Chain A
Amino acid sequence: MVLTGAQILMECLKREGVDLIFGFPGGAVIDIYDELPNHPIRHILVRHEQAAVHAADGFARASGKVGVCLVTSGPGATNTVTGIATAYMDSIPLVVITGQVPTHLIGNDAFQEADIVGITRPCTKHNYLVKNVADLATTIKQAFYIARTGRPGPVLIDLPKNVVNATTEFSYPESISIRSYNPNVSPNRKQLRKAAELIALSRKPVIYAGGGVVSSDSADELTRLAETFKLPVTTTLMGLGAFPGDRPNWLGMLGMHGTYTANMAINSCDVLISVGARFDDRVTGRVNAFASRAKIIHIDIDPTSISKNVVVDVPIVADCKNALTGLFEEVAKIKDVNWEAKHESWNRSLAEMKAAYPLGYAKNGGAIKPQWVVEKIYELSKGEAIISTEVGQNQMWAAQFYTYKKPRTLLTSGGLGTMGYGFPAAIGAQFAFPDKLVVDIAGDGSIQMNIQELATAVSYNVPVKIVILNNGYLGMVRQWQELFYHKNYCATCLHTNPDFVALAKAYGAAGYLVEKAEDLESTLEAAFAYPGPVIVDVRVEPEENVAPMVPAGAALSEMLLV
């Protein structure tokens, strides 16, 4: 069958199971848009290309599928870069299709030309410029394969306009093999046995899990390992939901704004079982003091993550699901261990610490506390919502005061820390789960970085709920200025915030203002029940800090504001 490049793209997307894409048209992709209505692929028109990528990313995180977006050349393509870098840092599978000027104009500084393959080389897992329509189908097949296998990540395909219009005989490759790309998914048995022996000998073991457990869908395997062998669990921000946050052996998140208990457990553990985490600096604090008393087992699909920041004793390169299953088998083979008794005093001391140093905040009865708003969201959603966050204080409070029980229920830019991520990501997640409550916990600064997507939410009646913890500051930077820069609040005070309620209404969404604590619950209830997009502008204590805190460069044991 002879097809045009545009038709081939559609056929390939269908064969990859794609029925939803986020995008924004332009001259270089107009032929693709001309073809689009002939196919059962729903296109969501965003208002800014960055939001198209974040929406595809939110869709991917919530559903576990590959997110797809389509944008034009030049500025359309460059606008995707922040979104792509966000997905890259958090290992989210995306296929980003960008238009490009015709091949004969490439390099001529043509109108709306940008070397997007060059620009995105360091922030994609891989990228392609398709110069010949005959290569298109194979390229798309490879792109999806690379995006979703191994350590997932974004893949970009740059499509020149003349390639889109050229024709060729279409056939979709049935299978694929790339000689230079073979992720190792099966764990080495010997290493698993070594790990099991370490766990059997340990007195103070801790599991430290990350986003890899979520992306490999192995939360159940992790939970089974931890529960069976009485291992306490902490996770990174990206790992929240990988272990149910309501279990007794849950220690809370670790790291810069982690719980006291989680950080002290890391500090004194004798065996650290790291699963799908990468020893990021926000997690480790001063790296030579991180788990310095422990033998470290590290399970990760990406060999570069192993011994990059912290040298480990038992590296296991594999898919987390396979490795956790194998590790369970190996530990279970070890007889004559009474796991309950073996870790009893360790677990008891951690439980005592958890009771003595819970996450908390001063309830002084005056202004509304942002942490309390998050707790209310948890309570009213019965913990069943999908939460997305922006970046900064709102993100940390959303991590600390909402209890995540299932994976893929927290969507947050952990690695890149992208303000403006949460709202478009929430839109993407809502498309994956139209019947679920999706709440973007936002700040008054972050929300303005992609607020134009209110138009998208309204036009498709996407009922996401934006709760702005409005403190009139770029709060996290202000907090650092308060604690470490003599309260020199340079460029962090947002004097001229818009009237968010009026703004919501101007776009055709609903808007609510909450200034008094007694109005919060009823307003949130009304917002959650409203059948469309809503902004809830909650005026919170302006100078509330995120606590506790490990200052940048300090050891986890040196926590402030405990």
Chain B
Amino acid sequence: MRHVLSILVENEPGVLSRVVGLFSGRGFNIESLNVGPTLEAGVSHITICTSGDEQIIEQIIKQLHKLITVIKVVDLTHLQSVEREIVLMKVGAEDSKRAEVLRIADIFRCKVVDVSTDELTLEITGDQGKIKAVVALMQRFGVKEFIRTGTVAMRRSMQLAD
């Protein structure tokens, strides 16, 4: 099962290497990885999407805690949370296709961030499901380049009962 782990770390040289080395050294899987500074000086935030059964995820979380530079680990999977990812995608858009590409882009609230005579570059923000859908629809126009940031996620303020 896919899990999104939100990890606060001391922003020291080598900290990312410690986290990533833990995953590779113990044979854990990284689906996506995102790192950035927080508002607190000296603290960074890492979001890792990983997968495994409950025992593996429990072990990953404990091993992360064991790293001296890791301050906090939260598994967002069992919490209500907001997940976002940004994708930049260069799509074939010759005159005959351009209108259709733009129409689909509009439906998904994509932004056109670059344009040329035969290509459009789109910025898509959303969760994994939305991105999957856009990619599926754009494939027939020819996706020339594709790049994604990996998931970032945040716990929702209200945790409502199902």
List residues of A whose CB falls within 8 A of some B CB: 117-118, 121-122, 125-126, 129, 146, 178-181, 302-304, 306-308, 311
Q: Known interface pairs A303-B62, A304-B59, A307-B58. Does A121 touch B68 (Cβ–Cβ under 8 Å)?
A: no
The stretch that binds A, out of B14-22, B95-103, B137-145, B147-155, is: B14-22
5 A–B contact pairs at CB < 8 A? A121-B17, A126-B69, A146-B68, A180-B70, A306-B62
Shortest distance in angstroms between A160's beta carbon and chain B's nearest beta carbon? 13
List residues of B whose CB falls within 8 A of some A CB: 9-10, 13-14, 17-18, 21-22, 25, 55, 58-59, 62-63, 65-66, 68-71
User: A181 vs B25: C-alpha distance in the bound complex, in angstroms?
Assistant: 22
Given the complex, which residues of A lie within 8 Å of B69, measured CB to CB? 126, 180
Given the complex, which residues of B lie within 8 Å of A181, measured CB to CB? 68
Shortest distance in angstroms between A141's beta carbon and chain B's nearest beta carbon? 14
Given the complex, which residues of B lie within 8 Å of A125, measured CB to CB? 68
Q: Is the CB of A121 within 8 A of B70?
A: no
Shortest distance in angstroms between B158's beta carbon and chain A's nearest beta carbon? 29
User: A122 vs B27: C-alpha distance in the bound complex, in angstroms?
Assistant: 13
Query: Which of A122, A178, A303 meets B65, CB within 8 Å?
Result: A303
Q: Is the CB of B17 within 8 A of A303?
A: no
Given the complex, which residues of A lie within 8 Å of B25, measured CB to CB? 122
Q: Is the CB of B63 within 8 A of A304?
A: yes
Given the complex, which residues of B lie within 8 Å of A178, measured CB to CB? 68
Q: Is the CB of B21 within 8 A of A179?
A: no
A-B interface contact total, Cβ < 8 Å: 39
Q: Of all chain A residues, which has the CB nearest B8?
A: A180
Given the complex, which residues of A lie within 8 Å of B71, measured CB to CB? 179-180
Q: In terms of DSSP, what is the predominant structure of the interface of chain B?
A: helix
Q: Known interface pairs A122-B25, A304-B62, A304-B66. Does A180 touch B17 (Cβ–Cβ under 8 Å)?
A: no
Shortest distance in angstroms between B84's beta carbon and chain A's nearest beta carbon? 27
Given the complex, which residues of A lie within 8 Å of B59, measured CB to CB? 304, 307-308
Shortest distance in angstroms between A411's beta carbon and chain B's nearest beta carbon? 26
Shortest distance in angstroms between A81's beta carbon and chain B's nearest beta carbon? 14
Q: Is the CB of A129 within 8 A of B17?
A: no
Q: Known interface pairs A178-B68, A181-B68, A304-B62. Does A118 touch B17 (Cβ–Cβ under 8 Å)?
A: yes
User: A410 vs B66: C-alpha distance in the bound complex, in angstroms?
Assistant: 28
Query: Which of A129, A179, A302 meets B13, CB within 8 Å?
Result: A129
Q: Of all chain B residues, which has the CB nearest A123?
A: B25
Given the complex, which residues of A lie within 8 Å of B66, measured CB to CB? 302-304
User: A278 vs B17: C-alpha distance in the bound complex, in angstroms?
Assistant: 26
Given the complex, which residues of B lie within 8 Å of A302, measured CB to CB? 66
Q: Known interface pairs A180-B10, A180-B68. Does A121 touch B62 (Cβ–Cβ under 8 Å)?
A: no
Q: Known interface pairs A129-B13, A180-B68. Does A121 touch B18 (Cβ–Cβ under 8 Å)?
A: yes
Shortest distance in angstroms between A100's beta carbon and chain B's nearest beta carbon? 13
User: A180 vs B10: C-alpha distance in the bound complex, in angstroms?
Assistant: 8
Extra contacts, 11 of them, besides A126-B69, A180-B69 (Cβ < 8 A), are A118-B17, A121-B14, A122-B21, A122-B22, A126-B68, A129-B13, A129-B14, A180-B68, A304-B59, A307-B55, A311-B55
User: A241 vs B22: C-alpha distance in the bound complex, in angstroms?
Assistant: 33
User: A179 vs B68: C-alpha distance in the bound complex, in angstroms?
Assistant: 9
Q: Of all chain A residues, which has the CB nearest B69?
A: A180
Shortest distance in angstroms between B58's beta carbon and chain A's nearest beta carbon? 7
Shortest distance in angstroms between A556's beta carbon and chain B's nearest beta carbon? 22
Shortest distance in angstroms between A331's beta carbon and chain B's nearest beta carbon? 28
Shortest distance in angstroms between A344's beta carbon and chain B's nearest beta carbon? 38
User: A308 vs B63: C-alpha distance in the bound complex, in angstroms?
Assistant: 10
User: A179 vs B9: C-alpha distance in the bound complex, in angstroms?
Assistant: 11
Q: Of all chain A residues, which has the CB nearest B58?
A: A307
Most chain B CB within a 10 A radius of its CB, from A125, A126, A304, A308: A304
